[in-house]
Chain A
Amino acid sequence: MPTVILIDVSLSMTRPVSLDGSEEFQRKNLAVHGLNMLFEHMASNYRLEFTSLMAFSSLWELLVPFTRDYNALQEALGNLEDYDKTCVESALNGVSNVVQQEWGSACPCQVVLVTDGSLGIGKGSLRQSLQSLKHRGDDKKFPLPFPFPTKLFIMSVANAEELQMTDSMDNLEELLRLSGGDGQIFTVEGPLCMKSVQAMFGRLIDHAYSPFHAVLHCGNLSSDVQVFPRPEPIVMDEEVEPMPRSVNIDLEIVGFIEIADISSPPVISRHLVLPINVNKEVDEVGTGTTDELEEEPSASQMAGKSPNFCVLLHGSLKVEGMVALVQLGPEWYGMLYSQADSKKKSNLMMSLFEPGPEPLPWLGKITHLGPISEAAENPYGEDDSKSPFPLQPPVKRSYAQNVTVWIKASGLQTDVQKILRNARKLPDKTQTFYKELNRLRKAALAFGFWELLKGVADLLERECTLLPDSAHPDAAFQLSHAAQQLKLASTGDSQYAAFDHNIAPMHTDFSS
């Protein structure tokens, strides 16, 4: 989930913070300090996250486009300049553009808005933006909610009391609500100082940027892994099940399925599964100090050399063209597979299915998938030539049956012509003739279209009179028999008009 850092560089951010100490800080310095801390954390624990940095005042500027280069981000933070007043709306428009250009409108995104809570005055202020919300045309819509799913984190370099003195807090809350409600407003606790700002960013890190660690199990084989990006809790049906579901920290492999059998299933999200060395991670939790940098290579070298289950699993999944079905929680499953990128680098990837007992209709209920050893004979065949998948639905869909639809005149004409065509080739086409005749009869009865039955009966009688001399005598018998049966059905007489009754060919071969 990419992150956009949106930092307020209006003049109000340069307000000095009164401190007991000797040095004087601006709010901007505090904000930069907090963001540096966030970047350092991400560089060591969340380094696959794409982050971009935008500064805004009455205008906005993309300082660093989406990158994983946290040095570049930190460098840009060091070169911030001061501008005029705060205008949140235009900045949010900027975010919307930047994100959609890069990731489209389906990719969930995190937006971290860093501001001091003075949200501008007059035209362009957040207050004014929110007040005019209802009187806008389609061309000047407020940028929230964004088209893409958003988590909005508002980092206010001010404490809650300060925000509540004005209507800033209300406005920020309204902003969060407009964005879809997913996110949080963080305020400084206690007096404004380095420490309290650090604590506030610490809370953001815990809330949104702590790596997701899990254990991948396959029977007794297991591996500690980081799942990136973090799988977010989801709500399937807020009415029936309002509590969000989260992914377990124990990921249990249930069994294996061929790629052709799972056949490009729909997934709600994709995640890298990276094996980790737990001991090393413990070291890393302390914010990356410089001493560690020297130790790290040897530690990771050692980790590289001890066998890891993820690597084994990945290798075999790739070679065999299979996926592993993995249980993520109660009635929630996903799949593990090998994913190669354009540069031939490949990786273990996990995709999450929609929660529920039967995420893929062609596999059936997951709880009813069992080991092949239980089957009387191998459902894949001795030479892997067969497969028990896909499962067939109990009822065929309309396009897989020969349904009759006469909504367009052409549908009806085609069906009548088919009967006539076969009628002319009697007795060779006796079977097809009666099959088509009975299909028409059934539909006409269901639709209460008795007039058609009479009409077709007339047509058959006419065909009978037009038969050439050379025609087989059977043809005439069958035609008049069929016409007579249709006429009987068109009376609605229950004896002849039963839906399940079929007109049988007239028995003309008396030799046997």
Chain B
Amino acid sequence: MKMFSVSHKTVFVVDHCPYMAESSRQQVECDVLTKSRAQGVIPLAPVSKSLWTCAVECSMEYCRILYDVYPLHKLINYIVSDSEFHILNSWRHEDQSTHELMSALAAVGPPNPREDPECCSILHGLVAAVESLCKITELQHERRTSLMDTAERVANRGRIICLTNTKSDTHVRMLEDCIQETILEQNKLAAGSDRLMAIQQCDLVLVHIHPQGEDTLVSDRPKKEISPLLTSEVHSVRAGRHLSTKLNILVQQHFDLASTTITNIPMKPTLNVCDQEEQHANTSANYDVELLHHRDAHLEFFKSGDLHMAGSSTRENGLKETITLKWCTPRTNSIELHYCTGAYRISPTDVNSRPSSCLTNFLLNGRSVLLEQPRKSGSKVISHMLSSHGGEIFLHVLNSNRSTLEDPPSISEGCGGRVTDYRITDFGEFMRENRLTPVSESSHDPSGKLPVERAKAQLERHTRYWPMIISQTTIFNMQAVVPLANLIVKETLSEEDLLTCQKTVYNLVDMERKNDPLPISTVGSRGKGPKRDEQYRIMWNELETLVKTHAGATNRHQQVLDCIVACRSKPPEEEERKKRGRKREEREDKTEKNGTKETDDKSWQESERLKGLLDKEEQEPEVIKDSPDSPEPANKKPRLCTEEVQPAERAKGPVSLLTMWSNRITVANSRKHQEFVGRVSSVNNKFELYQQLKDENGMDVHENGKASR
């Protein structure tokens, strides 16, 4: 259905002339006496509805169904006509509810039978209806504004449903002519106004209501074109049941609705949420409930011509069809994601009947029901699901055909499928932190960004440094780093956050001094993996990488980085030497073993991986350099060199204020120029020349890799 089809705007014009106060002559017995009390009591005389009451309650039923199925963008304007017209609501969204209309109708009251019939006419209302159709709706206005230069694409069409009692076919023609003339007049007016739109198409549906047992003087007439702007159809109906059936059919035609009957609904005590006092509550029969919804929910049946196979049946009046679907147990659970090709709001045809309200209450309590399509073959095909979402019930259409995506290659066969140590749990945690929540439209963010943009910005911040596999990271495997890692991704840090971060860093320094083991991945290396001090170097490097990506955000973020740079310990010269000595031994050891097991490509793979790991680590500062958001890496080259030889003071554990300050100055200065390699890596201002000669035999594979850069 087009957004601005005829059904965007519907005007009800209901006759309020004295004649409508006549009785419909359909009597309702409202005093149903129970047997035990029947003796000696004279039952109350039955009441009968007036033509007006019939018209009003049937039109309200039309509105009820419409508002249930289309809560938005299908609008109703209700007009009552007697000696003048009374417009009961407007096109505005807040006026679109049955409660509003009922309240306005109560104020109008039933027609006054003593009013002079000569001054009363339905024409007043019809003219007002045409004027109303010219008035722009919120949606039309919004679309016209947003389309700007193609605003003419927004059409103005509408429908007038007139419930009246006319005199004759000639009278009907007179009404049609009058509407046609009014449209032309109003279109002229509309051309010169911003708040009015010319009518491009108007469908008139005239329903002539007459009391039971009276012959009608007006004949039915199918839709015919009066002019390119106006079509008209006439329905002549008896008041009461016939009128309500007619309007029920009309609402289905006008809004592309179809009917589904849910059958075999079990009457179980759990379902029995209806009035406990109902006398026949202990019947255990299965019952049926008819629902209306958009007809696309039956698309599959229409197309495949399965309509009759699917248990459709024609109703007594020969006009209305319904498709039967069977209630299906077991029920479905909410954590299953069904392949659903459509979901359509429903409205029960008989809303306050006991079976209907039992079904709707059951669904509103949050349960879903699968529905089965009866097939001749007896095979069971689940084709639909009823489910409520936030107090609205939807009929979901489930795909029951073969899928074209069956038997796809498993994800483990594709790119990245062989990697086994993904941080699945960590990413799960990440997803929980990045869940979405509705933000009210009124809460305006100072940045002017929409909530969804802020959600994306958060994802960006949280993924600046996010290694995908466990063996690629140390810090994210350490409980001790968690507080800092959680805080540093925040847009702003409070003073308290900053303290927590700093505490985390001090805690790490402490761990290092106590020589606590680190959860460094040993997947890539045989034996114990890298030595403890090497582990800490890797850990500090990684932490620095993480924090650097956020350092540009605020001053406090920068302070966290400063703290890390200041606190991370560098091994003193002696230790370094010792380490190198150890490494030499280790290397010899390794080559020996490799010699014996040269064919063992697993170990080769492992060392390759470790190499890759370290290479990757080296690349990271470069990656960050490319990002305009983060500052130039403070002293990338120097840092890599200083691991070899370090000023002695720094190794002494806790840092003095002077060191911190001078460090900061050094960092600041180093940003301004490229520091001499010798000066940066000097020890007590002395730099050992020709180190590479000395190292030639003393470095393992990784270090070589680094030195060559």
Name the interface residues of B1-59: CB closer than 8 Å to any CB of A: 2-4, 28-32, 37, 41, 44-45, 47-50, 52-53, 56-58
Q: Is the CB of B427 within 8 A of A448?
A: no
The answer to the question of B356 belonging to the interface, with a C-beta cut-off of 8 Å to chain A, is yes
Chain A nearest CB: distance from B266 CB in Å? 20
Q: Is the CB of B404 within 8 A of A306?
A: no
A416 to B436, CA, bound (A): 48
Q: Is the CB of A307 within 8 A of B468?
A: yes
Q: Is the CB of B390 within 8 A of A346?
A: no
The answer to the question of A58 belonging to the interface, with a C-beta cut-off of 8 Å to chain B, is no
The answer to the question of B411 belonging to the interface, with a C-beta cut-off of 8 Å to chain A, is yes
With A310-B415, A409-B29, A497-B109 already in contact, the answer to whether A399 and B404 are too (CB < 8 A) is no
Complex interface: chain B residues within 8 A of A254 (CB): 436, 452, 455-456, 459
Complex interface: chain A residues within 8 A of B32 (CB): 413, 416-417
Smallest Cβ-Cβ distance to A102: which chain B residue: B402
Total A-B residue pairs with C-beta atoms closer than 8 Å? 438
With A393-B390, A446-B106 already in contact, the answer to whether A371 and B454 are too (CB < 8 A) is yes
Checking A266, A324, A455 against B343 with a beta-carbon cut-off of 8 angstroms, the contacting residue is: A266
Checking B428, B450, B454 against A320 with a beta-carbon cut-off of 8 angstroms, the contacting residue is: B428
The answer to the question of B86 belonging to the interface, with a C-beta cut-off of 8 Å to chain A, is no
Chain A nearest CB: distance from B432 CB in Å? 7
Interface size on B, residues (CB 8 A): 140
Smallest Cβ-Cβ distance to B490: which chain A residue: A373
Provide the main secondary structure of the chain B interface. Answer: mixed
The answer to the question of B64 belonging to the interface, with a C-beta cut-off of 8 Å to chain A, is yes
Range, interface on chain A: 35 or more
Name the interface residues of A236-281: CB closer than 8 Å to any CB of B: 237-242, 252-260, 262-268, 270-272, 274-277
Q: Is the CB of B455 within 8 A of A369?
A: yes
Complex interface: chain A residues within 8 A of B102 (CB): 442-443, 446, 499
Smallest Cβ-Cβ distance to A314: which chain B residue: B411
Complex interface: chain B residues within 8 A of A408 (CB): 241, 350, 353
Chain A nearest CB: distance from B284 CB in Å? 21
The answer to the question of A462 belonging to the interface, with a C-beta cut-off of 8 Å to chain B, is yes
The answer to the question of B661 belonging to the interface, with a C-beta cut-off of 8 Å to chain A, is no
The answer to the question of B564 belonging to the interface, with a C-beta cut-off of 8 Å to chain A, is no
A104 to B353, CA, bound (A): 37
Q: Is the CB of A371 within 8 A of B304?
A: no
The answer to the question of B407 belonging to the interface, with a C-beta cut-off of 8 Å to chain A, is yes
Chain B nearest CB: distance from A48 CB in Å? 6
With A399-B356, A459-B44 already in contact, the answer to whether A218 and B459 are too (CB < 8 A) is yes
Name the interface residues of B407-435: CB closer than 8 Å to any CB of A: 407-419, 422-425, 427-428, 430-435
Q: Is the CB of B106 within 8 A of A499?
A: yes
A418 to B278, CA, bound (A): 9
Chain B nearest CB: distance from A83 CB in Å? 31
Chain A nearest CB: distance from B313 CB in Å? 20
The answer to the question of A107 belonging to the interface, with a C-beta cut-off of 8 Å to chain B, is yes
The answer to the question of B68 belonging to the interface, with a C-beta cut-off of 8 Å to chain A, is yes
Name the interface residues of A393-416: CB closer than 8 Å to any CB of B: 393, 395-400, 402-414, 416
Q: Is the CB of B423 within 8 A of A257?
A: no
Complex interface: chain A residues within 8 A of B416 (CB): 223, 275, 303-312
23 CB-based A-B contacts, threshold 8 Å: A105-B304, A219-B462, A220-B460, A229-B404, A253-B459, A258-B435, A312-B422, A319-B424, A325-B436, A327-B452, A369-B455, A372-B437, A373-B433, A395-B67, A397-B345, A402-B352, A412-B28, A412-B30, A413-B32, A447-B60, A449-B49, A459-B31, A499-B106
Taking Cβ atoms with an 8 Å cutoff, the residues of B that contact A are 2-4, 28-32, 37, 41, 44-45, 47-50, 52-53, 56-58, 60-61, 64-65, 67-68, 71, 97-98, 101-103, 105-111, 143, 147, 153-155, 241, 244, 275, 277, 299-300, 303-304, 334-343, 345, 347-348, 350-353, 356-357, 360, 364, 385, 387, 389-393, 396-397, 399-419, 422-425, 427-428, 430-441, 450-452, 454-456, 458-464, 466, 468-469, 472, 490
5 extra A-B contacts, CB within 8 A, seeds A256-B434, A320-B428: A106-B300, A309-B468, A319-B424, A393-B392, A404-B352
